[in-house]
Structure 1
Amino acid sequence: MADLLTLENATNLIMLCFLQAVLGFDNLLYISIESQRAPVAQQKAVRFWGIIIAVLLRVVLLFAMIRLIDALGAPFYEFHWEGILEGGVNFSTIVFVIGGFFLMYTAVKEIGHMLSIDHLDHDVSGKSGKSAVRVVLLIVMMNLIFSFDSVLSAIAITDVFPILATAILLSGLAMLLLADGVTRFLEKNRMYEVLGLFILLIVGVVLLGEAGQAAVHGAEATGMSHEEAHHLALKLFGHEVIPMSKTTFYFSVVVLFAVEILQTGYSRKLNKERHALQEHS
C-alpha cells in the first residue's frame, strides 16, 4: 500500500481524472439523452444503474486489457483490396466501427423521430417506447464502447491497476452527480436535445476515425515501432482513415453551442419586436 503513495502515482491519478473528464463528456451526453427514452418514473433509476453497472464493467475491462493487451492489440486480419480497402484489423477496430455506426444510426433515428408527428404525441402522453431494462443495457453497452479510447489512453500513462481503477471510479461518481442535472437541462431546453443528437452524430464519426488507426496503436502497444506499424492503418479508396483530434471535436461542439445560443437569442429578439409592433398597431 505504501508503494502506491508516491508523487508519481498522485500525478498520474490527477492526469487520469482529467483525461476521464475530457473523454467522458460524450458518454454523459449519451446517457442523459438515452435515459429519456425510458418510462418517466424510471428514468433516474435507469441513469443510476446504467452508470453503476457500466463503471464496474469498465474496471473489469481495464483489468482484462492490462492482462490481454497483446492479444487485443495484435491485428488478426489484413485487408489487401488495393484501391478499395487496405490495412489491419484488431479487436478495437471492430468495437470502434460497431460503436460509430450505432451512434450515427441512433442520432439520425432520434432526429427523425423528433421531426415526426408521433413525437408530439409522445410528449403529450409522457410514454416511452423503450423499457427501462433495454435502456440500461444500451447505456452499459455504449459506455463500454466509449471506454476503449479512455482505457487505452489511460494505460499509456500508467499500468498501475489501483491508480487506473481509482480514476475510473471517480469518473463514475462524477457522472452520477452530473447526469440528473444534464438531463433536467435538456428537458427544460428541448432545442438543446437536437444539438446533443448532432454532437452524438459527430462522436460516431470520431469513433469511425479511431477505427482507422486502432490496429496501428495496438501493434505499437505490443512493441512494434510506429514506422513498422504504420502499414496497418486502414485506407479507404486509397485514402488513410485519420481520426479527428479531440481539439477539433471540442471546437466543433463549442461552435454548435455558440450558433444555437445566438440563434435562440436572435429568435427571442424578433419575437419581442413583432409583439411590440402588434401592440402599437
Structure 2
Amino acid sequence: MIEALGIFTQAEAWAALVTLIVLEVVLGIDNLIFVSILSNKLPEHQRSSARRVGIGLALGMRLVLLSAIAWLVGLTQPVFDLGLAGPADAHGNPGFETSFSWRDLILIAGGLFLVWKATSEIHHNVDPAPSGDVFASTRKVLGFGAAIVQIILLDIVFSIDSILTAVGMTDDLPVMIAAVLVAVGLMMVAADPLANFIGRNPSVVMLALAFLLMIGMVLIADGFGVHVPKGYIYAAMAFSALVEGLNMLSRRRASARGDDAAGH
C-alpha cells in the first residue's frame, strides 16, 4: 500500500493525475446530463436520491473496472468480422471497420439507447402536457426503480469509455483510482445544481437532450470504427451552451425592462 502511494512523490504522477482528472470530468459531463434529465422526471422528493444512487453506482462501476483492467482491455479484441472490405483511403487504410469487439458492441448499444431516449424525450417536450409541466407527461410512467435501471445501463457504457481512456493515459493504477474518485466526487457536488438549473429552464432541457442525441450518434459511430475527436464534440457543446446563455441573458433583460415599463 505504501509503495503504491509512493508514486505520488513523483512530479510525473501529479501531472498525469491533473490531466486525467480534467479528462474524466469532461467525459463525466455526458453521464451527468443524462442523470439530471432522468432524475427530473421523478417526484421531487426522490430526485436527489436518484442522482446520488446513480452517481454512486457510476463510481462503483469505475472502481470495479479498474480492478479488472486486464479483462477490460480484452474487450477491445475483435470477436467477429463481417468480412467486408471498405474502399481504402490514400494511406491504404480501409474506409470503414468491419470487425467488432465487445467494446464496439457496447458503445453501439449504448448509443442506440441514448438516441432512443433523447428522441422520445424531445417528442414529449415538443408536445408537453396541458399543465405546462414538461415532465408531467412521462413522470407518471417512470418509477424510482426504472430510473435507476436506465441510469445503470448508461453508467456501464460511460464507465467503460472512461476507464479505457484512463488506461490509455497512464499505467499507474493509484493515479487512475485517485482521478476517478476526484472526478466522480465533483459530479456528486454538481449533480443537484445542474439538475435544478435544467429543470428551471425549459430551453436548456431541449439543449441538453440535443447533446444526448449527439453523444448517442458519436457512440454509434465510434462503435463502427469512425472515431470523431472528442475535442470537436465538447467544443460544439461549449459553443451551444454559450449561445444559450446569451439567449437567457437577453430574455432576462427584456423581461426586466418590461417590468420596469409596467411599473411606470
Question: TM-score under structure 1 normalisation?
Answer: 0.78
CA contact (8 A) 2:61 2:156 kept: yes
Q: CA RMSD in A?
A: 2.8
**What secondary structure, in the 3-state scheme, does the structure 2 residue paired with 1:156 have?**
helix
CA contact (8 A) 1:186 1:192 kept: yes
Query: 1:197 is matched with which residue: 201, 209, 212?
Result: 209
Residue 55 of structure 2 aligns with an amino acid whose one-letter code is: I
CA contact (8 A) 1:28 1:179 kept: yes
Q: Does 1:19 align with 2:30?
A: no
CA contact (8 A) 1:39 1:130 kept: no
Provide the residue aligned with 1:67 in structure 2: 70
Cα distance in 2, alignment partners of residues 133 and 124 from structure 1: 17
**What secondary structure, in the 3-state scheme, does the structure 2 residue paired with 1:37 have?**
coil
The 5 Å alignment of 1:257-272 reads 257-266=241-250
Q: Does 1:133 align with 2:145?
A: yes
- The aligned length equals 251
Query: 1:156 is matched with which residue: 163, 168, 179?
Result: 168
Cα distance in 1, alignment partners of residues 57 and 46 from structure 2: 16
> Structure 1, residues 33-70: CA drift from partner, whole Å, max 9, x if none?
11112222111011111111221122112222x12145
Structure 2 gaps of 5+ residues are 88-95
Cα distance in 2, alignment partners of residues 132 and 77 from structure 1: 38
- Equivalent pairs: percent with the same residue? 28
Provide the residue aligned with 2:230 in structure 1: 246
CA contact (8 A) 1:122 1:128 kept: no
**What secondary structure, in the 3-state scheme, does the structure 2 residue paired with 1:159 have?**
coil
CA contact (8 A) 2:75 2:102 kept: yes
Moved beyond 3 Å, runs of 4+: 81-86, 119-128, 261-280
Cα distance in 1, alignment partners of residues 254 and 53 from structure 2: 44
Question: TM-score under structure 2 normalisation?
Answer: 0.83
**What secondary structure, in the 3-state scheme, does the structure 1 residue paired with 2:212 have?**
helix
Query: 1:89 is matched with which residue: 95, 100, 107?
Result: 100
**What secondary structure, in the 3-state scheme, does the structure 2 residue paired with 1:118 have?**
coil
Q: Does 1:210 align with 2:222?
A: yes
Residue 47 of structure 2 aligns with an amino acid whose one-letter code is: Q
Cα distance in 2, alignment partners of residues 148 and 120 from structure 1: 40
Provide the residue aligned with 1:234 in structure 2: none
- Higher mean C-alpha displacement, 131-140 vs 177-186: 131-140
Cα distance in 2, alignment partners of residues 40 and 70 from structure 1: 40
Cα distance in 2, alignment partners of residues 149 and 107 from structure 1: 20
Q: 1:125 to 1:82 in 2, by over 3 A?
A: closer
Q: 1:124 to 1:38 in 2, by over 3 A?
A: closer
> Structure 1, residues 60-118: CA drift from partner, whole Å, max 9, x if none?
12222x12145322101111245698511000000110111111111110010012243
CA contact (8 A) 1:51 1:140 kept: no
CA contact (8 A) 1:51 1:176 kept: yes
